[in-house]
Amino acid sequence: MSFSVTEPSVRTKWFAGLLVIGYALITLIPLVWIIATGFKSPSDSISYPPVVLFEPTLEGYVNLFTDRTRATDQMLEEAGPATTWYEQIARDRGTVISGPSRYGERFLNSVIIGFGSTALCMILGTMAAYAFSRFKVPLKDDLLFFILSTRMMPPIAVAIPIFLMFRNLGLNDTHLGMILLYTAVNLSLSVWLLKGFIDEIPIEYEEAALIDGYTRFQAFYKVVLPQAATGIASTAIFCLIFAWNEYAFAVLLTSGNAQTAPPFIPTIIGVAGKDWPAVAAGATIFLVPVMVFTILLRKHLLRGITFGAVRK
Amino acid sequence: MAQIRIENVRKDFGAFNAVKSSTFTIEDGEFFMLLGPSGCGKTTTLRMMAGLDLPTSGEIYIDGEEVGQKPASQRDIAFVFQMFALYPHMNVAKNISYPLRSQGMPRAQVRKKVAEIAEILGITDILNRPVGGLSGGDRQRVALGRAIVRDPKAFFMDEPLGALDAEFREHMSHELRALHDRMGATTVYVTHDQLEAMQMGDKIVVMNHGVVEQFGVPQDIYDWPATKFVAQFIGSPSMNFLDFNGSVEQGAQTVDLGDVRMAVPRQLDGGSGALTLGVRPEHVHLNDAAPYRGEVVATEYLGTTQIVTLKTRYGQVQARIPSNVAVREGARTGLEFDARTLTLFNANTGAALRSDANRKVLHHG
């Protein structure tokens, strides 16, 4: 049989394929389980042995988005027959819906803080990276190392000082506070990543724009930014994933006003302590934005990961 | 269109001195070559004229206006980069129209102008293509289009043919020169290729180590180099140097290499000590009767001519002679130099000694 460096043999391909499928299954099982649990009834969700095939119900989602009280006969009488499908689901469990839950609010907080900090991080990061890449910044190497060094400990190590600082500044439990915090944590990563991307853009493009009669700032946003789009997109994904998933600071620094979804989801489980479908439904919905964002930008992400591996 | 004047321009990068006090004038409509080996400061000089680097000291005048410290965007010039620097996220038409849009020219007028330029350069059919897939020559034409579309005061080109393959370079250089003659715009062109410089340029500045070595029309520079560096850098094979110790009187018309007396153009200054006699290969003739002797060590066949390398008492000499003359390696023969073409150099400073023949050329200093 002939041997080729570039074309793997059929057997190798099969082996590689099986390996990838196996890995995908292992990583996807928890995800599938969470999504499935969201559609189970509470008893199915905790049955042992676990059920794989079950009758799907939206009870978990109804419970996630509503507050309910146990209904007395009198209350049922006053309320009359159920008018909507979700009310019907609640009635079937002997409860009436007393109002919307706070999940929507928390989810919106996550969106505001996650995307807000990502946007701020991109704006500041791109400009800082551009400056480090193009200008003679005094003590450039020291500054870059200093920026990187903020990554050398887990952010939570400085939780207490940050907590005290935020209390004094009145930033506790505010959207602004959380946006600033996540931006500060992510900025080092984004400056370093983006500097790499901008370094790769030949300076002649900007010089050409300068000659063509544009100011430096115009050259930056009309010529450099479009070409750095790939880098900005992949950096944005990394920043968003961190800010979106962050749990420890969110628990510590938010409670009412600016609480994000991660610390809220575990509290859904409620007093009875067995509403796993609602928790799973909350987690499923929480996954959606990052998934969509990542799928939209996945081409850039792949390029971002392999970036600079091969010199053009 | 404009005259460009460089006065005492100097550029330092930190402790490194890239350009030392350059002074020269580029006349309106000239095709002007900045020639030198890499690292000689030619590109830095061009970038200072364009405003991409600011001079440490000295003045730059474009069209009579001092622009030394002005940013590039205010100088009304065009620049063609070696790697073209076409904006990769725009198509051909957008690339060409980009300088016009910065001036806020109305759309219809922009479209008309771009079409006109595309016609001149013969790229009408690729106007809507992205620049990514273009061939080297088309990229070059688009880059030129972007430069000429605005009718700037001057064109600056930094080795614009450097990225093209040899065959196409030749073609493009003719195209460039033709375009210049048609537009009559002042053009400053940086190159390290002496053939390109002589072929295309109206005038040449030869730079080395940040210093202007010589400034003039190609033929003067070739025939009467001001320094040994210029003599060596220009011409292929380069000028032969015979190093000897001796002296020449003021007004002398001969010089003694040991016991051989050679005729030279009448010397105006004279000098003594370590001297160098420079002679171009085409001015060396093989003549068995000549007193200056050499031994043939190699011959190189070049079609109509051949290069014969000879070992002589004062150094190796290469002669360019017709290829139908039979020359045998190892043969001893006499060398005769064309007296009117010789240049004497001070071997220590490298500067040419002034003579009747080169005094008109050397007054630039």
CATH number of B302's domain = 2.40.50.140
* Same domain, residue pair B43 and B157: yes
Q: How far is B78 from chain A (nearest CA, A)?
A: 6
CA dihedral A65, A70, A73, A79 (to 10 degrees): -20
Strand B154-158 relative to strand B186-191: parallel, antiparallel, unpaired? Answer: parallel
What's the confidence (pLDDT) of residue A43?
84
* Same domain, residue pair B312 and B167: no
Distance CA B265, CA A33 (A): 99
Q: State the amino acid at position B53 in one-letter form.
A: D
Look at B81 and A207 and tell me if their CB atoms are within 8 Å: yes
What's the confidence (pLDDT) of residue A14?
92
Last residue of a domain, one of B223, B258, B281: B223
Last residue of a domain, one of B205, B223, B241: B223
Q: State the amino acid at position B192 in one-letter form.
A: H
CA nearest to B241, candidates B163, B329, B317: B317
* Same domain, residue pair B217 and B254: no
What's the confidence (pLDDT) of residue B338?
92
Phi/psi at B135 (5° precision):
-75, 165
pLDDT single digits (tens) B47-82: 999 999 999 999 999 998 999 898 888 888 999 988
Distance CA B205, CA B233 (A): 12
State the pLDDT confidence band at A256, using cuts at 50, 70 and 90. Answer: confident
* Same domain, residue pair B216 and B296: no
* Same domain, residue pair B120 and B184: yes
pLDDT > 70: percent of chain B: 99
What is the value of pTM for the model shown? 0.78
Distance CA A235, CA A241 (A): 10
What's the confidence (pLDDT) of residue B10?
92
Distance CA B48, CA B50 (A): 5
Q: How much is the average pLDDT of B25-51? A: 92
Task: Say yes or no: A150 contacts chain B, CB-CB below 8 A.
Answer: no
Q: How much is the average pLDDT of B159-170? A: 82
Task: Say yes or no: A211 contacts chain B, CB-CB below 8 A.
Answer: yes
Counted residue by residue, chain B has a size of 365
Look at B81 and A218 and tell me if their CB atoms are within 8 Å: no
* Same domain, residue pair B34 and B66: yes
In this prediction the ipTM stands at 0.79
Last residue of a domain, one of B223, B250, B268: B223
CATH number of B143's domain = 3.40.50.300
Task: Say yes or no: A210 contacts chain B, CB-CB below 8 A.
Answer: yes
* Same domain, residue pair B177 and B243: no
Task: Say yes or no: B162 contacts chain A, CB-CB below 8 A.
Answer: no
Q: How far is B75 from chain A (nearest CA, A)?
A: 8
Sign of CA dihedral B56, B59, B61, B66: positive
State the pLDDT confidence band at A305, using cuts at 50, 70 and 90. Answer: low
* Same domain, residue pair B84 and B205: yes
CB contact at 8 A, B81 and B143: yes
CA nearest to A230, candidates A256, A207, A185, A200: A200
* Same domain, residue pair B83 and B217: yes
Q: How far is B168 from chain A (nearest CA, A)?
A: 23
Nearest residue, CB atoms, A212 vs list B51, B52, B99: B99
**What are B320's two structure tokens?**
């360019």
* Same domain, residue pair B207 and B332: no
Residue in B closest to A203 by C-alpha: B85
Residues of the domain holding B246: 228-364
Q: Give the 3-state secondary structure of residue A141.
A: helix
* Mean predicted lDDT score pLDDT of chain A: 86
| Least confident piece of the model among A144-153, A290-299, B226-235 | A290-299
Alpha helices (runs of H) in chain A, residue ranges in sequence order: 10-38, 42-45, 59-65, 73-79, 85-92, 103-134, 140-149, 159-169, 175-199, 204-211, 216-219, 225-245, 248-253, 261-264, 276-296, 298-305
Considering only residues A7 and B319, tell me which one the structure prediction assigns the higher pLDDT.
B319
pLDDT single digits (tens) A116-159: 999 999 999 999 999 999 988 899 999 999 998 888 888 888 88
Look at B52 and A207 and tell me if their CB atoms are within 8 Å: yes
- Structural domains of chain B, count: 2
CB contact at 8 A, B185 and B152: yes
The DSSP string of B112-135 is HHHHHHHHHHT-GGGTTSBGGG--
Distance CA B164, CA A9 (A): 40
pLDDT single digits (tens) B91-144: 999 999 999 988 888 999 999 999 998 988 888 999 999 888 888 888 888 998
**What are B136's two structure tokens?**
């080297």
Q: How far is CA A256 from the centre of its chain?
A: 21
pLDDT at residue A1 is higher than 60: no
* Same domain, residue pair B72 and B209: yes
Q: Which helix (H) or strand (E) holds B279?
A: strand B271-279
Task: Say yes or no: A149 contacts chain B, CB-CB below 8 A.
Answer: no
* Same domain, residue pair B207 and B241: no
